[in-house]
Amino acid sequence: MKMNKLTALYIIVGATMILNVKGVTAQNNSNHQMMHDNGHGAHPKLHTTKLPITNSTPTPTQPGQDAFGAIQEIINMLEADSDTDWSKVDISKLRSHLVDMNRMVMGTQVARKNIEGGLELIVTGSAQTLRSIHDMLPAHAPMINGLNGWSAKVKVTPNGAILTVTAKSDEEILHIRGLGFYGLMASGSHHQAHHISLARGVNVHLKQ
């Protein structure tokens, strides 16, 4: 079949356009694959890469129980002291003293009487608390005797003890009466020194 020149030209133009379309499609497919490899293909790696984990949760500082905290503090002091003689350390003795302190605060009954110059305190307790009174009050009175110009005396009784604290100045008389038994027991800074001494195996309390 014969074809004229115009028909042949149409055929050539059409074939050229088809080839160009195929080339563009191939190029687009190639570019898409590159984008996939560089983008989506790398995406899973971001999820599978393990990043360092930092724990931002605050660490508790409270020991949870007062006696435990006091013992912990003493242990830290002993371990920080290169001169600590561990053959003499007695944490159980410190613990027993802390138990006595707890009973003195929580298990005692106190009758107070204002006297000339100060205060008379009749301290009683039952069972184990009575034993703590007999152990601690005779040891504590000498510790506060002379503090702030006070005069402190204790008398042990079958039911507990009688603590008498007086002063000469009106200001200190009011001070004593304001503190009362528990405030007087907590006065002074000898408790802390006593605790470390007990832990080292030394009993610095002197009974009358």
Structure confidence by residue, pLDDT tens digits, 132-186: 999 999 999 999 999 999 999 999 999 999 999 999 999 999 999 999 999 999 9
Tokens of 59: 């660490």
- Read off the pTM: 0.67
Burial degree of 125 (CB within 10 A; 0-12, 13-18, 19+)? buried
3-state secondary structure of 23: helix
Confidence class for position 15, pLDDT limits 50, 70, 90: low
Confidence class for position 48, pLDDT limits 50, 70, 90: very low
For residue 109, give the nearest of 95, 125, 93, 132 by alpha carbon.
125
